Amino acid sequence: MAHQAQAEETGIRPGLPPLPPLGLRLSGTYAAFFLAMGIQVPYLPLWLQDRGVGPEAIGVALAVPMLARLVSTPLLGVLSDRLGRPKAMLVALALAAAGGMAALAVSVEFFGILVALAFTALAWMPSLSLLDSYTSRQARAGRADYGSARQWGSAAFLVANLVGGALLGLLGASSVVLMMLAGQLAYVLATFALPELPRPERRPAPVAGRRARLGLLAGIVAAALVQASHATLYAFATVNWKAQGYSLTAIGVLWAIGVAAEMGLFRFGTRLVVRFGPHALIAMGGVAAVVRFSAMAFDPPLVVLVPLQLLHAFTFAATFLAMVELVGRSVSEHRSGTGQTAAAWIGSILMSSANVASGPLWAALGPLAFLASAAVGLVGALAAILAARLQPHSSGSGG
């Protein structure tokens, strides 16, 4: 068994072609996961419309995966830690999500579509948090770099947006779920290529006590608030830019600049975490959100929008990376899956709340609704400072 685990980790398998290095396999796994995501986010509403689903029902259909994720994410995190086989859990969830997408592809009736969407989300959405847990454990063991692997998820998301749009023009809206399924099958293969991690010893958490737990919770909430500050951006930035007269090409470039910025941060983010610590990165992300969204509230020209989009490196990537690192430092290895999925669960709740609020705010205020986004980012920065003050600084605590 030990020889098999070593062979999987090194990629050397007697009598078989060697596997790529672990870092490359992890990068490929993130890329494969985000291929399907990069099709689903922009194009699934078109598929629903092609199935004859009306606007109000589309809103319901898109809400179902979010609700399903809130139910399954923490439960699957606990289950993964109880089983002690994170690679096997990733494979099982990838296969289940692929089955859900296959069922979705042949669904016609609205109820069947809702059931397929819910089943897919139950398995698919928590997979990213469990993959983050798996990768952070490999990183803490010195076998991989989380940021370097995660950047390829962002790259694949962008490629899927662009290539998916081109294929959609050729194949029609009915091809959307089939493209999602193709990406998911690639993710299934990628998870099979990962090595299984040994069951960790049950040890006390690196930080313990009521103050430390409160500090961890404050840090997670801080990162989740900065992430939630993007809700208005995701929902209405394209609408607003188009109203300002920017072409779809220019708008696409603006979004691509943001993705490129987050890739750059992920690429070198580990050095930043080591240098400044996760709390400082979250605070930087919150301050960047204040600057970014305060400026966007006043419809800045294109020459200003470009550097504002570059701030996505801090408002999104830095806070996400810092949250994963904060949980990894604060939670025992045998509870890594529980910790990462709990953080994702808190983030989902705050993002969902911000999404609900963004519509009425935009209807009432227009672009000035971005000032509310700036306020949420500011609260996130202040929460990060509070979390840093609550962090224990005793030897070995990670402080």
CB 205, CB 332: distance < 8 Å: yes
**pTM value > 0.85:** no
Minimal CA–CA distance to 127: which of 189, 180, 72, 177? 72
Distance CA 184, CA 244 (A): 37
Residue-level pLDDT at 122: 93
216 burial (CB, 10 Å; 0-12 / 13-18 / 19+) is: buried
Distance CA 188, CA 182 (A): 10
Q: Give the DSSP per-residue string, 236-293.
A: HHHHHHHHTT--HHHHHHHHHHHHHHHHHHHHHHHHHHHHH-HHHHHHHHHHHHHHHH
pLDDT tens, per residue, the chain with 399 residues: 444 545 555 455 545 456 778 999 999 999 999 999 988 887 888 899 889 988 778 878 878 888 888 889 889 998 988 999 999 999 999 999 999 999 999 999 999 999 999 999 999 989 999 999 999 889 888 888 988 999 999 999 989 988 888 888 899 889 999 999 999 999 999 999 999 998 877 766 666 677 878 888 999 999 999 999 999 998 888 888 988 998 878 888 888 899 999 999 998 888 898 899 999 999 999 999 999 999 999 999 999 999 999 999 999 999 999 999 999 888 877 788 888 888 989 998 998 888 888 889 998 999 999 999 999 999 999 999 999 988 765 333 333
Domain positions in the chain are 23-192, 210-390
Residue-level pLDDT at 61: 85
Q: For the domain bounded by 23-192, which CATH number is listed?
A: 1.20.1250.20
Residue-level pLDDT at 255: 87
Distance CA 266, CA 387 (A): 23
Q: Which single residue is written with the structure tokens 């200003």?
A: 304
Helix/strand/coil (H/E/C) assignment for every residue in 134-159:
HHHHHHHCCCCCHHHHHHHHHHHHHH
What's the fold here for domain 210-390? Growth Hormone; Chain: A; (1.20.1250)
| Single-letter code of the amino acid located at 202 | R
Same fold, 23-192 and 210-390: yes
HSE-CB of 294 using CA atoms within 13 angstroms: 11
**Beta strand segments in the chain, E:** none
Residue-level pLDDT at 205: 61
